[in-house]
Structure 1
């Protein structure tokens, strides 16, 4: 390896590390996945055992609230767990209203379908949703739209991946919602929670790690503010 190759390799490693950290922050990492799966898993497990909608719903909602409390006690971010509480609460209310345990999963399925369409529509509109989500995490905000075309292209590819993967998931789940019984449907849904998500995150990482580095707009603003202060400080002495 030559001395010229080493900086390039180091920069590539830094890019990988930054991308991995940003994705971990944005999507919650392992803990976020556990918080996503656990309520639904508990619901279908209890329902499989005793076919009691009320106890299944109470257990799912209870564990969701417990996850929020744990994060609060640990002074950790609650956005992933708190979002899970709302999702579970909607599912519980919907299932209780209809009396059909399968409807516990319907709000989440509709959300998944809506999210899939949002990824596709925003990409077609030239503002891919994954870029809107990850832009602030990478401290680039919307600079990728006009100043970093290679990065915009990577965000478009990633958004297409998310949209198509979520649509494929919906194509499996919605027919099962009508045809399968609650227990079988619940276990299939739980099984499909993580693999599509991991595939979408991996493809996002793959596209972004090969893309140009993000433009740190916060660093640019700080540099501009510093330069402005220096110009003002130098102005009286120049006179």
Structure 2
């Protein structure tokens, strides 16, 4: 059996790592970028664009043959396609990294604004995923709000760091270092932010369970 087939058992829980395509999915996500940088150095921009797109398509075929989820590879192909088109039309190898740089800036701003308006993004997402109705009780609990503030600050820091470092490397024209920064500041940094999110969600669940226990006797 492969680490995650296209048809997992229905009672098999999907972890975050599973949804990202497993370990092989994380590793494969770096392949198009590495192929792009190496090909650009050897054969030029046009060849690099073609190789990056072909590498993404190859990953989709490989995961399909191995009966693994192709969702991460398809998402990767869309991202590579957009990045490759920008690089091709700008005539700049660094243009390949522009979409990721600007997405990082947008996400950093969104996370920061959500904290300022007292609707931390991590808490909003958690509420949408776990609530069966327009429940907003988590915002009335100071401890829960503080936990989600901290988690959202963690993501703000991750996205802001990505933007600042990669934008600086883009201005410097350092294609190789841009590729390194994109990979190194990808899943590793997100993983740290997710650890903070896990702590915040656990705290929110404890507070929610405690509130439910208090309300239960009153409703009987």
TM-score normalised to structure 2 length: 0.71
Query: Higher relative CO (CA 8 A, sep ≥ 6), structure 1 or 2?
Result: 1
Structure 2: segments with no counterpart, 5+ residues: 1-12, 210-220
Task: Pick closer, same or farther for the CA change 1:83–1:125 going to 2, 3 Å.
Answer: farther
SS at match of 1:105: helix
CA displacement at 1:127 relative to structure 2: 2.9
- C-alpha deviation, 1:213, in angstroms: 4.3
- Asked if residue 163 in structure 1 is aligned to residue 163 in structure 2, the reply is no
Q: How far, CA to CA, are the matches of 1:141 and 1:65 in structure 2?
A: 38
Aligned twin of 2:108: 116
1:183-214 deviation digits (Å, cap 9, x = unpaired): 33333333332332222122222332333249
More off after superposition, 181-190 vs 82-91 = 181-190
What is the match of residue 60 of structure 1?
Answer: 52
Output the CA distance in 1 between the equivalents of 2:86 and 2:70: 28
Do 1:127 and 1:145's aligned partners in 2 also have CA atoms closer than 8 Å?
Answer: no
1:98 aligns with 2:90: yes
Q: What is the distance in 1 between the residues matched to 2:148 and 2:134?
A: 12
1:145 aligned onto 2:136: yes
How far apart in 1 are the matches of 2:56 and 2:207?
A: 35
Contact residue 138 and residue 144 of structure 2 kept, 8 A: no
Equivalence for 2:9: none
Correspondences of 1:1-239 after superposition (within 5 Å)? 23-24=16-17, 30-48=23-41, 50-71=42-63, 74=67, 76=69, 78=71, 80-135=72-127, 137=129, 139-140=130-131, 145-147=136-138, 149=141, 150-213=143-206
Shift of 1:174: 0.8
Structure 2 SS opposite 1:126 = coil
Q: Whose radius of gyration is greater, 1 or 2? A: 1
How big is the shift at 1:154?
Answer: 2.7
1:144 and 1:26 mapped to 2: Cα distance? 26
Aligned residue for 1:219? none
RMSD in angstroms over aligned alpha carbons? 3.2
What are structure 1's unaligned runs of at least 5 residues?
1-19, 217-239
